[in-house]
A and B are shown apart, each in its own frame.
Chain A
Amino acid sequence: MVIERILIFLLALIGFTAIVGAKNIIKKVFGLNILNAAVVLLYILEGSRIGDQAPILGKGVTNMVDPVPQALMLTAIVIGVCVTALALALAVRLYKATGSLEIDTINERLRSEH
């Protein structure tokens, strides 16, 4: 149905707005996660249109969903988590260095450094 995809589109847009517009760097990381989640949902939702049973072969399984997007998204989810972990570690380090989590303050304080 179209309404689900419109909702996913809005979710992606919200995530992207957070990345670009948010002042707090942790919120940017939130936005990245939301954007990732939206795309994962998109793949799996669309892949499930062609069937209605889980993609595990067995007795009575005749109409399974497309397993390819699910396999791809496994990889994408893990990569998203790893990048988030790295981003959060960098954010903690920036906080320790400048005492602030706002991107403008961080820029100012680091600019005056050597």
Chain B
Amino acid sequence: MSIESLFLSPVYLPMLGAALILVTKHFFTDRQRRAVEYLSALIAFIIPLIAFIFLIKPVLAHHQVHMILGTWETTLGIHYHFDGLSFLLITINLLISIPVWLYSRKTGPHQETFTIIFLIQSASIAATSLTADLFNLFVCLEVMGVTSYVLVASSEKNKAILSSFTYLIFSATAMVFFLIGTFGLYRISGSLAYDTIAQAKNMLSGSDLLVARLSLVLIVVSVLLRTAVIPLSGWLVGAHSNAPHAVSALLSGVLIKIPLFALVRLLLLVTGTELLGSILAWAGGISTLLGILLALREHHAKRLLAYSSVSQIGYIVTAYGLALASGIETEEGALLLALSLLYAFSHALAKATLFMTVGRACDAVGSKDLHVARGALSALRAQGERFPITGIAYLVAFLSISALPPTIGFWGKNTLVYLSKGHGSTYFLSITSVLTIVVYLKLSGIFLPKKAQEVQKVEPSSTALTSLSLIFLTILLLAGGLWYTDLQTFVVQVLSPLGATNATLTSYSALQDLLKTGFTTTIALLFFIIGSKTRVERRFEARRESTASFPNLFFGFALMVAVMAWWLLFPGEAL
């Protein structure tokens, strides 16, 4: 077993699993197909996870593998690069996909082809994390995109079809701009591999440099669209709120982060990305505040969660942008990147759990409107859940996303905000922390007991697999919090070949942050109580659901391109 076959396993094993399910679907009965789906999930998720356990040691020893797929001896082949970054991204994907898939067995879309598409998406996520070739990145992003469109549309509600269509047109057009960018970069460098392109670009000057930078801007903005940072986030609310619960969990948890970190590989090698980083940091900060303000206005549970995703991705993008701005080779930059990835992990866990628990609760109560939905705990008990797993999982996820101890979110968000101090956009982050707690207090209303005790006739549904997936995520959320310092050291160690070595967060005081957290929570509680008592919030609430219109979406795209093109005129200066 060479190391290649180990780290490529999350790419080819899910494909193999999908092929097996397809064959079973056509040749055998439905029951056998369902059985084979379990087998394929085992092959596709558990075996790569075991393989990656064997890879922990090489990755800690900073063993990097740069290879050309198919062992051709030329740069014409497709370059793949395995290092700590790929390891972490793929691990995040596997750790979220397993509970989401288990959850979907009972609750999720019941189409015959759901697992096939799910597995193919998992393979494409792994390939995106490993690739070091521009056109291969295009193909992998397209596979990820097409699987997302189909998965969002699989809920078969008409709104989901519209959201899927909007997302499709927006994303497909952006990928054409990506192709134009690739054209520019291939022209000036003669190759599609990241290192050759970067080498060529760093030696350019004059009009060629202009072309190269423009191409890079087109590529970066097209990839950032999938991360849904303001102003590119119009599609996210519709897609994530109308998709089936399992799909929302996966999309919000994994798919909006992977393209961002896959881009790091290219941006690392290119010089002069400091201004780009600053722009990203500001965009992230604005995202945070705007996202949470829009979430406050919502009274539809899943739309609230989707806007909250926009807000939380702002944290990740801010840290990422600051890492780029100070240069990833420096100690500070490497730390910021590591914290950005860690927060991505903690948000993925929390958001997936939130979507799954809130989804179950809303299904049990029968409504997604926060003014109406109440009494989820008793409704779930009537459905056969003897121990309130859904409620507990929701509580832990709530604590994590509000950055309260002892969860991973407490440590993740606070270390991130601590290290980002000194940049203008971090004021947004602090305000948002308060508002996040307010928003989630509002959401928790679903679990409050009902005023009138009506006995509802609900059919009991077996909850074993769903409970298993929720327990798994809860354990991860708590374990991440308890062993955070070890986790952080691991991540920094593993990512350090990208930049400086042995960077540690030395002057961080947890006690100070505990006090700060207590303060923040008290303010948030005050806001919430005042707001709900005086009915102030009703006046600000969204009257009708706003749907993303195409002119708005593309206006945002053009705005981002225009702002980033500023980089061309003032190279090397930070905002």
A residues at B contact (CB < 8 Å):
12, 16, 19-21, 25, 28-29, 32, 35-36, 39, 42-43, 46, 68-69, 72, 75-76, 79-80, 82-83, 86-87, 90-91, 93-94, 97-98, 103, 106-107, 110-111, 113
Contacts and interface: CB of A to CB of B under 8 A. Distances in A.
A28 B179 contact: no
Interface residues of B, number: 32
A36 B150 contact: no
B185 to A, nearest CB: 12
Contacts of B138: 76
A64 B439 CA distance: 63
B144 to A, nearest CB: 12
B179 A94 contact: no
List of 9 A-B pairs having minimum Cβ-Cβ separation, nearest first: A97-B158, A90-B165, A20-B554, A107-B547, A83-B172, A93-B161, A39-B179, A35-B176, A79-B142
A82 B183 contact: no
A52 B238 CA distance: 50
Given A43-B179, A103-B550, 14 more contacts: A19-B550, A20-B551, A20-B554, A39-B176, A68-B76, A72-B135, A76-B138, A76-B179, A80-B172, A83-B146, A87-B172, A90-B153, A90-B168, A113-B158
Given A20-B554, A97-B161, A35 B173 contact: yes
Given A97-B158, A106-B162, A111-B547, A86 B183 contact: no
22 contacts: A16-B173, A20-B550, A20-B551, A21-B551, A32-B169, A32-B172, A35-B176, A39-B179, A42-B180, A68-B186, A83-B168, A86-B168, A87-B165, A87-B169, A87-B172, A93-B161, A94-B165, A110-B158, A111-B544, A111-B545, A111-B547, A113-B158
A61 to B, nearest CB: 19
B187 interface: yes
Contact of A43 (B159, B168, B183): B183
B139 interface: yes
The residue among B146, B149, B161, B549 with the most chain A CB atoms within 10 A of its own CB is B161
A36 B139 CA distance: 15
Contacts of A28: 169, 550
Contact of A91 (B165, B186, B551): B165
A108 to B, nearest CB: 9
Contacts of A43: 179, 183
B162 A87 contact: no
A62 B176 CA distance: 33
B215 interface: no
B183 A42 contact: yes
A19 B173 contact: yes
Interface of B: 76, 135, 138-139, 142, 146, 149-150, 153, 158-159, 161-162, 164-165, 168-169, 172-173, 176, 179-180, 183, 186-187, 544-545, 547, 549-551, 554
Contacts of A75: 135, 139
A87 B551 CA distance: 18
Contacts of B179: 39, 43, 76
A82 B162 CA distance: 18
Nearest to A23: B550
Nearest to B550: A20
Contacts of B173: 16, 19, 32, 35
Nearest to B547: A107
The residue among A20, A36, A46, A87 with the most chain B CB atoms within 10 A of its own CB is A20
Contacts of A82: 146
A111 B242 CA distance: 13
Contacts of A107: 162, 547, 549
Nearest to A21: B551
A39 B169 contact: no
A5 to B, nearest CB: 11
Nearest to A20: B554
A39 B551 contact: no
Contacts of A25: 165
Nearest to A104: B549
A30 to B, nearest CB: 11
Contacts of A68: 76, 186
B183 A94 contact: no
A110 B76 contact: no
B156 to A, nearest CB: 9
A87 B43 CA distance: 32
Contacts of B550: 19-20, 28, 103
Nearest to A19: B173
Contacts of B551: 20-21
A29 B173 CA distance: 10
A46 B187 contact: yes
Contact of B161 (A39, A69, A76, A90): A90
Contacts of A46: 183, 187
Given A94-B161, A111-B544, A39 B168 contact: no
Contacts of B161: 90, 93-94, 97
A46 B183 CA distance: 10
A10 B161 CA distance: 32
Nearest to B162: A110
B176 to A, nearest CB: 5
A50 B231 CA distance: 41
A69 B135 CA distance: 11
B421 to A, nearest CB: 40
Contacts of A86: 146, 149-150, 168
Nearest to B545: A111
A94 B158 contact: yes
Contact of B169 (A19, A72, A111, A113): A19
A35 B138 CA distance: 16
